[in-house]
Amino acid sequence: MSIETKTTCPYCGVGCGVIARVDEDGEVSVKGDPDHPANFGRLCSKGSALAETIDLDGRLLYPEIDGRTTSWDEALDLTARRFSETIAEYGPDSVAFYVSGQCLTEDYYVANKLMKGFIGSANIDTNSRLCMASSVAGHRRAFGTDTVPGVYEDLELAELIVLVGSNLAWCHPVLNQRIQAARQVRPDMKIVTIDPRRSVTSDLADMHLTIKSDGDVALFNGLLTHLAGSPAFDHDYVSAHTIGFRDARQAALTRSMPDVAAETGLSVAELGAFYRLFETTEKVVTCYSQGVNQSSVGSDKVNAIINCHLATGRIGRPGMGPFSLTGQPNAMGGREVGGLANMLAAHMDIEDEVARDRVQRFWNSPTIAAKPGLKAVEMFEAVADGRIKALWIMATNPVVSMPDADRVREAIRNCPFVVVSDIQRNTDTAALAHILLPAAGWGEKDGTVTNSERRISRQRNFLGLPRQARPDWWHMAEVAKRMGFNGFDYDGPADIFAEHAALSGFENGGMRDFDIGAKADISPDSFEAMSPFQWPHRKGVDEGVTRFFAQGKFYTPDRKARFVPVTSARDDRTTRDAPFTLNSGRIRDQWHTMTRTGKAARLSAHLAEPFVEINPVDAMKLGIDKANLVRVENCYGSVVLRALLTERQPRGGIFVPMHWNDAYSANARVATLLAPRTDPISGQPALKSTGAQVRPAEMAYYGFAVTASRPLRLEAPYWAIAKAQAGWRVEFGFDKAPDHLETWCRETFGLSDRGEHLAYVDNSTRQQRHGFFQGEKLLLAFYLAPEPVAVSRDWAVGQLDARLETAPTRFAVLAGRPGADQVDPGATVCSCFSVGINQIASAVADGCHSVEAIGQHLKAGTNCGSCRMEIRGIIDDCLRQAAE
Ligand SMILES: Nc1nc2c(c(=O)[nH]1)N[C@H]1C(S)=C(S)[C@@H](COP(=O)(O)OP(=O)(O)OC[C@H]3O[C@@H](n4cnc5c(=O)[nH]c(N)nc54)[C@H](O)[C@@H]3O)O[C@H]1N2
Ligand SMILES: Nc1nc2c(c(=O)[nH]1)N[C@H]1C(S)=C(S)[C@@H](COP(=O)(O)OP(=O)(O)OC[C@H]3O[C@@H](n4cnc5c(=O)[nH]c(N)nc54)[C@H](O)[C@@H]3O)O[C@H]1N2
Ligand code: SF4
Ligand SMILES: [Mo]
């Protein structure tokens, strides 16, 4: 008999409901939960592949001290002792926790309580500092609290959706699917994207504004000026529910239209068209994400956007409002518990003495942090200069994700005591830990998460705890108890959630937005059965609609919103030596530092190598050709990446994905190049605009391998490895050809004397191809050439699965191209059904001219739909080429 469990996806902030099914034989499969109000059954490529990422390969399964497996008791005792001793000797501010928006609310609650209420410091910060801090700061400045006013349904009700610095199609794919579905019904619905590059999301927009990096404040100030003099200005709302309009308008007026055009890089005509569309469309939602937040002027961008919604009274009503799209599955839950160093708990301010007293009484705690703690970038600076002497990192990989990442690595390496709680053994950060604590992962842990629309859903366990892995809240609570603190005797997540809910309602009286007091007395059984719900959920109140601010009632002392005057200019960091604006972000099928998605062959096939997107004209000037390896560098660091020449990237800028790290590539941690430059209000680092130089990385030889077993060692100036269905694929760049290639292959790929060796060496072109076969199986194919290896990657990867008994099939492997009777699928487009670009192109040639027709013919795009935009693009390209 199989068992189905309703849970929530552990990736992005959309927070999709998932049904996980465990079959009798232990096989796990997942599908979208049709009843979950975030996704109504939909999932994206990452959600669909969840079952492929939960095996125990690479898992951290036992506590370790200095690399030695140990017992929980020993690891917890030592952690507690070292934290207590450090605090006794140097004070509470000498220790710190760096946690994550991927912690469950219950984990987060316990961590925050321990640090702020018992250790008595606010040195707990989170990777949400790199993600949502500017939105939090913008909300608090305007609304008095960190409140997201709207709900997802607004995206379906809107007549205009403005996406600012959001690659929605790749990063919040199910919201994109919901919008596309709504647009099918109401084709008049308009979409505008605002991004310095053309993303896949821009392809579905009616208008794309190629804004200069950080031109957003000027753009939205220009909009405010325009709206102020237009019929869209809502005089009644502004006078009844806001203050400060005049100052904000004055600030906006410091730039004339030509100034706005210069600052944004957009023409006056483009600006006018956007401004008129915004003015004349009442139902407008402005969604924003990291192109807004991750900036040294991020908080001002947020307020420039909110100002426009306040001025038109378009907030908190159906189909209207500013909408911060949260990144991580529990970015919102972390904010609710107060996991940021400048917050207290349950949306109460750390600077507020009354709130501090209230929380301390509620916790019955010996102390309470009296001032904000160190924000992420400051925290690692304090680790570097020795002020922080004991550090606990939980569910985040800062050696890959923090700016100035090499300095962060050094700081952690030199820190006297470092604890890392993770699910994987070999992350770049785990390598530096004194103590490793094995955490329960998705499917094993149990608790709640809050999505972008304030909806709290259960993550339920459907697998047992493997070996010694334990949930993160338990790590924290056990250490707290061993440090001698009361108040951490929890029976389980239900207990913690009930306490968190009780605190939210404690002495609230309607003065705090975050109130889920109705759940304060929840029993373990009700917690188990709890359906997704949106906050607020006050005791004794039937909430009905959960939008905020249509009738004002902001959480400022006078209950009025604040217009925030913003004037900040672009903070251009390019120089003569670093002339390109380096932008970084995400790709469709990888999640952050790849510790989970990197395990799935399906997800690794879409883009299998670290790359830099560069405009073809810039590339030509630099002597960079298609598929060359290049070095991207500046005074902070240097990485080696594959050049991807594309018109999508305007000249002067480059884009590099944030995902690759030392486990998957030789040297591609792009965060090593990013200056630790932060927004002065939010403390969020500017991860999207650093100056950098690009130059060819001359390689004497290039290599490509498909291998059935994982290589034993990877040593070359460039390598990148990706999981394939039946093994791995590896790219190489060499200074010189490896000596004795057969021996090198056997040693590198761990073949010893296994396998029949077949080689082809062409001295005139200096190419070599080596195949190793066992029975009908390919163990390894290795291709070496003085220029980028021209072998169809996807076809070669498929040979690991093929039966290769005959000489012609083996020679085809050496030749690196399909025999006459085989097809080359080409680069994977649809990861759900492993459909390649060549298959789609040939279906187009056969008369499939729509995404639907391709779906019927090849199934591509019919499961999660994340690739539908790319399929559309391929069809267009093929038809255009056919017409030319
Ligand atoms: N596939 C996938 N999805 C994810 C994640 C993942 O790792 N992989 N991570 C999740 C998380 S934690 C987050 S925070 C979200 C992030 O989701 P997004 O913010 O949508 O993703 P990013 O790729 O970081 O950046 C979005 C866009 O901002 C643009 N941008 C850069 N500078 C500027 C600027 O100055 N102005 C404007 N207007 N735009 C600019 C970039 O070119 C980029 O296209 O994604 C979530 N979803
Ligand atoms: N260059 C650049 N850098 C960026 C960004 C960017 O756009 N550009 N974006 C920033 C943003 S928005 C974000 S959110 C961050 C994300 O950056 P990180 O948080 O560093 O990235 P993840 O890979 O999600 O790290 C999560 C870690 O937790 C582990 N883990 C997974 N589940 C669990 C669990 O249940 N318990 C525990 N204890 N561990 C677990 C994973 O194995 C992994 O090591 O990156 C930031 N850095
Ligand atoms: S959109 Fe995809 S990654 Fe995000 S929650 Fe849904 S299934 Fe998970
Ligand atoms: Mo994020």
What's the chain's average pLDDT? 96
Strand-strand pairing, 533-534 and 455-459: antiparallel
Largest CA distance in the chain: 83
What does the pLDDT read at residue 757?
Answer: 96
What does the pLDDT read at residue 882?
Answer: 79
What number of helices (H) and strands (E) belong to the chain?
Answer: 30, 34
3-state secondary structure (DSSP) of residue 139: helix
Indicate whether 646 belongs to any domain: yes
Question: Any residues with CB less than 8 A from the CB of 839 and at least 6 apart, and which?
Answer: 823, 825, 826, 858, 860
Which CATH number goes with the domain that contains 20? 3.30.200.210
Contact between residue 376 and residue 402 where contact means Cβ atoms under 8 Å apart: yes
User: Do both 872 and 807 map to the same domain?
Assistant: no
3: enclosing H helix or E strand: strand 3-8
Instruction: Read off φ and ψ for residue 498, nearest 5 degrees.
Output: -60, -40
Distance between CA 784 and CA 768 in Å, rounded? 5
Closest ligand 3 atom to residue 591 Cα is: 3
Nearest to 673 by CA among 642, 614, 717, 633: 633
| Choice from 46, 50, 177, 831 to test ligand 3 binding pocket (greatest atom count within 8 A of CB) | 46
| Choice from 52, 174, 867 to test ligand 3 binding pocket (greatest atom count within 8 A of CB) | 174
User: Do both 395 and 514 map to the same domain?
Assistant: yes
Peptide bond into 536 cis (omega under 30): yes
Nearest to 135 by CA among 679, 688, 562, 555: 679
Indicate whether 549 belongs to any domain: no
Residue 349 per-residue DSSP state: B
Distance between CA 841 and CA 240 in Å, rounded? 58
Closest ligand 2 atom to residue 331 Cα is: 14
> Hey, what are 349's tokens?
């301010």
Ligand 4 mean position, distance from CA 257 (Å): 34
Sequence length of the chain is: 884
Contact between residue 624 and residue 697 where contact means Cβ atoms under 8 Å apart: no
Closest ligand 2 atom to residue 593 Cα is: 23
**Is 600 close to ligand 3, i.e. is its CB under 6 Å away?**
no
User: Do both 443 and 366 map to the same domain?
Assistant: yes
What does the pLDDT read at residue 545?
Answer: 64
Residues of the chain with pLDDT below 70 are 545, 820-822
Closest ligand 3 atom to residue 15 Cα is: 5
Distance between CA 676 and CA 597 in Å, rounded? 27
**Is 164 close to ligand 1, i.e. is its CB under 6 Å away?**
yes
31: enclosing H helix or E strand: strand 28-32
- State which of 667, 696, 725 marks the end of a domain: 696
What does the pLDDT read at residue 675?
Answer: 95
User: Do both 235 and 304 map to the same domain?
Assistant: yes
**Is 404 close to ligand 2, i.e. is its CB under 6 Å away?**
no
770: enclosing H helix or E strand: strand 767-774
**What are the tens digits of pLDDT across the range 38-97?**
999 999 999 999 999 999 999 999 999 999 999 999 999 999 999 999 999 999 999 999
- State which of 644, 661, 696 marks the end of a domain: 696
Residue position matching structure tokens 């799209």: 325
User: Do both 665 and 744 map to the same domain?
Assistant: no
Question: Any residues with CB less than 8 A from the CB of 830 and at least 6 apart, and which?
Answer: 858, 859, 860, 861, 863, 867, 871
Indicate whether 558 belongs to any domain: no
Closest ligand 1 atom to residue 289 Cα is: 19
**Is 508 close to ligand 2, i.e. is its CB under 6 Å away?**
no
361: enclosing H helix or E strand: helix 353-363
What does the pLDDT read at residue 821?
Answer: 65
User: Do both 502 and 363 map to the same domain?
Assistant: yes
Measured between its terminal Cα atoms, the distance across the chain in Å is 58
CA dihedral 678, 201, 32, 320 (to 10 degrees): 80
Ligand 3 mean position, distance from CA 464 (Å): 24
**Is 14 close to ligand 3, i.e. is its CB under 6 Å away?**
yes
**Is 209 close to ligand 1, i.e. is its CB under 6 Å away?**
no
Q: Which ligand is nearest to the CA of 591?
A: 1
Distance between CA 149 and CA 260 in Å, rounded? 29
Indicate whether 377 belongs to any domain: yes
Ligand 3 mean position, distance from CA 282 (Å): 29
Distance between CA 484 and CA 526 in Å, rounded? 32
Number of domains in the chain: 6
Which CATH number goes with the domain that contains 445? 3.40.50.740
Ligand 4 mean position, distance from CA 330 (Å): 10
**Is 210 close to ligand 2, i.e. is its CB under 6 Å away?**
no
Domain that holds residue 76: 65-128+347-534
**Is 152 close to ligand 3, i.e. is its CB under 6 Å away?**
no
3-state secondary structure (DSSP) of residue 95: strand
> Hey, what are 754's tokens?
């296994």
Q: DSSP states of 536-563 as a string?
A: P--TT---------TT---SSTTS-EE-
**Is 127 close to ligand 2, i.e. is its CB under 6 Å away?**
yes
Instruction: Read off φ and ψ for residue 625, nearest 5 degrees.
Output: -105, 165
